[in-house]
Amino acid sequence: MKKLPFVKMHGTGNDFIVLYEKDIEELEVNLSEAFIQKMCNRNFWIGSDGLLVVAESKKADFRYDMYNPDWSRAEMCGNGIRCYMKYLLENKLTEKKQIDVETLAWILQVAFEDNLFTVNMWAPWKIKDIAFKNKKLWDRFFLKSEGRDFLFTPVSMWNPHAVIFLQNESLDKFNVEKYGMPIERNIDIFPQRTNVEFVDVISSKEISMRVWERGAWETLSCGTWACASVVAWILAWFLDKDEFVKVNIRGGTLYVKWSGDEKDTVIMQWAAEITFEWFYYVR
């Protein structure tokens, strides 16, 4: 029986299984659909919101491969990339405090200072393949879910997001699964499916949110959807520009800032934690 080393980590409650590519290759492990689904199962195995692979890159310092619990690939994840950087530092795979990481979408810059990870999430985009064919980043549209109309802002942080601002409604009592799942899987509007953010505005410098995450159900936290929500609210001219906005999520707090200029990058900041490390037994 093979013993595959892994580290369990989380960023504000968004948890991941982290594997090293060299261990996978040495043990000849096949990251099949069944294998990843089993590892991410919370009832019988390790359990996680996703699986990360630390790999070599010809384009950057390292390559970042991410799988959702249903085996679908994710372009990237803001919480995951912080865990990724911490894994590199803890395992002494790099001495750099700032690195470039190749993701499925682009080359990402991650820095570490004063126990905080700062991620350059790059500039937001409009979702190119959305059925509404939005011409501008700040365009908003109506869609229907379970008989209810929602006004949403489509934002791509190199993965798709439908940001919905709730009004006069309790975020804690809101049925995220009921309304989020049909939107995520509405391939007539979102051919690649989408993350769905439900946001409550606290002030010009603070928001709270819950998310139905593509391929992972409702999760405690995700960096890209925190960024997408701040972008959507700045576009509505209510949040302070180029200042860190406090984003309250079910797993804790993230800080995000953006200038409001479509050419400028979104910056995300917070910590990452190791939960435990052990071996996964592979037959």
The domain ranges of the chain are 2-122+271-282, 141-264
Summarised one tens digit per residue, pLDDT across range 244-266 is 999 999 888 999 999 988 889 99
- Decide if 77 is catalytic: yes
- Decide if 83 is catalytic: no
- C-alpha 12/C-alpha 32 separation (Å) is 28
CATH code reported for the domain at 141-264 = 3.10.310.10
Comparing 2-122+271-282 with 141-264, is the CATH topology the same? yes
pTM over the 0.75 mark: yes
Catalytic residue among 40, 83, 222, 227: 222
Catalytic residue among 40, 77, 83, 227: 77
Pick the residue with more confidence: 105 or 178? 178
pLDDT band at 58 (very low <50, low <70, confident <90, very high): very high
Summarised one tens digit per residue, pLDDT across range 163-178 is 999 988 999 999 999 9
One-character DSSP codes across 245-275: EEEEETTEEEEEE--S-TTSPPEEEE--EEE
Give the residue-averaged pLDDT of 115-129: 86
Strands (E), 12-97: 14-20, 51-55, 62-67
Q: Supply the pLDDT for residue 89.
A: 94
Name which CATH class applies to 2-122+271-282: alpha beta
Does 35 have pLDDT greater than 90?
A: yes
Q: Supply the pLDDT for residue 135.
A: 73
Give the residue-averaged pLDDT of 110-124: 89
